[in-house]
Chains A and B, each alone.
Chain A
C-alpha cells in the first residue's frame, strides 16, 4: 500500500529525514516511536504533502501512484489521512461546513454524488457518538478554542468521516486522559479492516495496549534504526532510548 524508499527531506536548508525505508501493507498497523526531534512529525507531514518541506531524495509509492508528485488534496482524495500532532485552529470556518466540504470533494473525486445535508447530518451524528463529542462542536469554528483533548478527538472524528485507506496518527494520544485515550483507540479499531492500514506515532507504550501494532519502528536522527514487533515497545518503555542513541553514535 505504502512503500517508502530512501526518503530524504529537509526544511530551510536543514536535512531532517536522512533515508527512510518503510513498507506498509493493507491491514497492518505500524507504530513509530523515537525521541523528541528525531523527525517523526516531519515524516508524517512530508507524506501528507506539506509544501514547506523539500524532498531531497527517495521515492514514495502509495496504492501504485507516485505520492510525492501529488498535491496534498490529491493525497487525501486517494485515501491518505494525517491526524495532526498540532491540529490547526481556523477562526471563522464552521466545523460542520468544513467536514461536509471535505467529504464532498473526496466523494466527487471518487465519482460519488454529493451527500445531502440531511444524510450528512445523520452520518455525522453517528460518528460524533463514536468519539463521544457533543454536536455543539459542529457549529464552532474549526478547532478554535478546543481543549487539547477535544482537538485530538476532532482529528479522529474527521478520520471516521473521511474513511481513509491509510491513516497516520501523529501523537494523537498525547495530552489525552485515560478515557479519551480509549475513545481514540476505539475510533481507530472500528476503522481497522483488511483493506486499511495505520501508522501510529506515539511516545507511549500505553496506546499500543489498545491499538495493537504489527510492527514497531524506532526513528532516530532521521533514520529508522530499529524495527521489531510489539515487544520492542515494551522494551523501550523499560529501558529508554539510551542504548539506541549510544549505538547510533558508535
Chain B
C-alpha cells in the first residue's frame, strides 16, 4: 500500500471527528481496517480486472459545501409513483421533495442526519456486524467517510403497494465524493419495493461509494431495484448486503447504464430456512466503460434457493466482469443455486470476463451456471434477415429480446416501462 493513496481518506475522516457523532467508534474502526488494506490493486484477486487507481489517486475536492439546490430544476421521475421517497442532491437531504412517513406510520424513512434514540443503537449494531465482512475495502471506506443516507423501517405485516424511492442526484461540482449509507430493515410478514436511483444532471467527474444494508425478515418479501445512471465520467463503487430470514424472498434488479467505472459487490446471506434470493442484472456499457459485478450468495440453512441472471450488452471497447461466488454451508441441505451470466458482444473490441466460484460443503445440492452467447445471436439475426427484416431492425429486435428476459420480470409496471425505454435509449434506438 502506498501511503499517498489513502491520504485523502484520512484527511476526510478527520472532518467527521465530531464528539457528538454517535457512530464515531464504528467509523474509527472502519478507517483502521481500511488503512490496513489500502485501496485494492492489481494483485488482489477480486480486483484484478478492475483498476481503482483513479479513485485511490484521485484529486478529490475537499469542499464540504454543496451546490445551491434552488438553482436546480429537479424533475422527480414519473415512474416514482405515489410512494414514499427521499431525495438527496449533491449529498444533501432535500426535505421539500421528500415524503418520509406513511399515514399509518407503518413505514418510516429517516435521513442519517436526523437519527435519534434507539434507532442509533440498532444501526450501530448492524454496522458493526456488517463491518466484519472481510475483503470489502469500499464498505470500510463508506463507513469511515459516511456522509448522508437513510434508514427505512418497515414494520411487521406491512404490505406496501407503491415502491419507496431513494434518489441520489449529482448536479454540480467537480471531483466530489459521496459516501451514502442506506439501511433497510424489514419486519416479519411484510411486503415492499425499494428503488435506489443514482443519477447526474451533468457529465462531471465524481466518485460515489454507496453502501446498502438490508434485512428481510421472516416470511417477508422485498423487491429491490438499483438503477445506476451516473454521469458517464463518474466512478461508482457500491456494496450491498442482504440478510434474509425464514421463507423470505429478496428479488433484486440492477441496471447499469452510466459511470466510466462501476463496481458492485453484493453479499446475500440466506440465514433462515426456506429463504429465496432472485438476483437479476442488466448492464449496457459502451465506449470505454467498465462494469464489474461481484456477487456472493451464502446458503446457510436448508431449503434455500438462489437464482442469478446477469446479462450484458457490450458495445465498442467496453469491459464487463461478472464473478459469482456461491457458498453452500454444510447444514444447507436441499439447496438450489442457479447462476447465469450471459453477454452479448456487439463489437470485436468489447470484453467480458465471467468467473463462477462454487464453494459447496453440503452434499444434497444443485448448482448450475451458464456462459456466454454469440452464435445464438448470429443465428437469430440471420433468421430475421432471411425473412426480409433489415439488419438494423433485426439487431434491435434481438438485443431488445435479450435484455427483455430480465426487464420483463420487473413487477412494478411503471418502472418496467421506464427501464425498457432506457434500454432503447442506451442502444440509440429511441422511438
Is A205 at the interface (CB under 8 A from chain B)?
Answer: no
Is B360 at the interface (CB under 8 A from chain A)?
Answer: no
Is A137 at the interface (CB under 8 A from chain B)?
Answer: no
| Residues in chain A near residue B405, CB distance under 8 A | 91-92
Asked if residues A73 and B389 are in contact (CB atoms below 8 Å), the reply is yes
Question: What's the nearest-Cβ distance from chain B to residue A167, in Å?
Answer: 12
Chain B binding surface SS class: helix
Determine which residue in B378, B379, B383, B387 has the highest number of CB atoms from chain A within 10 A of its CB, and name it: B387
Question: With the chains together, A88 CA to B408 CA distance in Å?
Answer: 22
| Residues in chain B near residue A73, CB distance under 8 A | 385-386, 388-391, 394
Asked if residues B404 and A92 are in contact (CB atoms below 8 Å), the reply is yes
Is B384 at the interface (CB under 8 A from chain A)?
Answer: yes
- Among residues 201 to 232 in chain B, which have CB atoms less than 8 Å away from a CB atom of chain A? none
Is A131 at the interface (CB under 8 A from chain B)?
Answer: no
Is B382 at the interface (CB under 8 A from chain A)?
Answer: yes
Among listed B2-10, B261-269, B395-403, interface-contacting one: B395-403
Contact with B along A27-50 (1 / 0, CB 8 A): 000000000000000000000111
| Residues in chain B near residue A162, CB distance under 8 A | 387-388
Question: With the chains together, A199 CA to B279 CA distance in Å?
Answer: 49
Is A158 at the interface (CB under 8 A from chain B)?
Answer: yes
Asked if residues A88 and B389 are in contact (CB atoms below 8 Å), the reply is no
Is A60 at the interface (CB under 8 A from chain B)?
Answer: no
Closest B residue by C-beta to A74:
B388
Taking residues whose C-beta sits less than 8 angstroms from the other chain, chain B's interface range is 20 to 34
Question: With the chains together, A71 CA to B390 CA distance in Å?
Answer: 9
Is A58 at the interface (CB under 8 A from chain B)?
Answer: no
- Among residues 265 to 300 in chain B, which have CB atoms less than 8 Å away from a CB atom of chain A? none
| Residues in chain A near residue B384, CB distance under 8 A | 90, 93, 98, 102
| Residues in chain A near residue B378, CB distance under 8 A | 52
Taking residues whose C-beta sits less than 8 angstroms from the other chain, chain A's interface range is 20 to 34
Question: What's the nearest-Cβ distance from chain A to residue B381, in Å?
Answer: 9
| Residues in chain A near residue B370, CB distance under 8 A | none
| Residues in chain A near residue B22, CB distance under 8 A | none
| Residues in chain B near residue A19, CB distance under 8 A | none
Asked if residues A101 and B393 are in contact (CB atoms below 8 Å), the reply is yes
Among listed A4-12, A76-84, A172-180, interface-contacting one: A76-84
Asked if residues A72 and B401 are in contact (CB atoms below 8 Å), the reply is no
- Among residues 87 to 141 in chain A, which have CB atoms less than 8 Å away from a CB atom of chain B? 87-88, 90-93, 98, 101-103, 105-106, 109, 141
Question: What's the nearest-Cβ distance from chain A to residue B196, in Å?
Answer: 26
Closest A residue by C-beta to B385:
A72
Known: A88-B379, A90-B380, A90-B398. A71 touches B386 (CB 8 A): no
| Residues in chain B near residue A103, CB distance under 8 A | 388
Is A51 at the interface (CB under 8 A from chain B)?
Answer: yes
Asked if residues A101 and B382 are in contact (CB atoms below 8 Å), the reply is no
Asked if residues A49 and B387 are in contact (CB atoms below 8 Å), the reply is no
Question: With the chains together, A73 CA to B391 CA distance in Å?
Answer: 7
| Residues in chain A near residue B408, CB distance under 8 A | 92
| Residues in chain A near residue B382, CB distance under 8 A | 50-51, 72, 88
Closest A residue by C-beta to B408:
A92
Question: What's the nearest-Cβ distance from chain A to residue B396, in Å?
Answer: 10
| Residues in chain B near residue A92, CB distance under 8 A | 400-402, 404-405, 408
Asked if residues A76 and B388 are in contact (CB atoms below 8 Å), the reply is yes
Question: With the chains together, A63 CA to B319 CA distance in Å?
Answer: 46
Asked if residues B391 and A98 are in contact (CB atoms below 8 Å), the reply is no
| Residues in chain A near residue B386, CB distance under 8 A | 48-49, 72-73, 75-76, 82, 84
B380, B387, B404: the one contacting A76 at CB < 8 Å is: B387
Asked if residues A105 and B390 are in contact (CB atoms below 8 Å), the reply is yes
| Residues in chain B near residue A51, CB distance under 8 A | 382
Known: A87-B383, A93-B401. A105 touches B391 (CB 8 A): no
A71, A82, A102: the one contacting B391 at CB < 8 Å is: A71
* B-binding residues in A (CB < 8 A): 48-52, 71-73, 75-77, 82, 84, 87-88, 90-93, 98, 101-103, 105-106, 109, 141-142, 158, 162
Known contacts A90-B380, A93-B384; 15 additional CB pairs below 8 A are A49-B386, A71-B385, A76-B385, A76-B386, A88-B379, A88-B383, A90-B384, A90-B398, A92-B400, A92-B401, A93-B398, A101-B389, A101-B393, A101-B397, A103-B388
Cross-chain pairs A/B with CB under 8 angstroms, 19 sampled: A52-B378, A72-B385, A73-B386, A73-B389, A73-B394, A76-B387, A84-B383, A84-B386, A87-B383, A88-B382, A91-B401, A92-B404, A92-B405, A93-B398, A98-B397, A101-B397, A102-B389, A158-B387, A162-B387
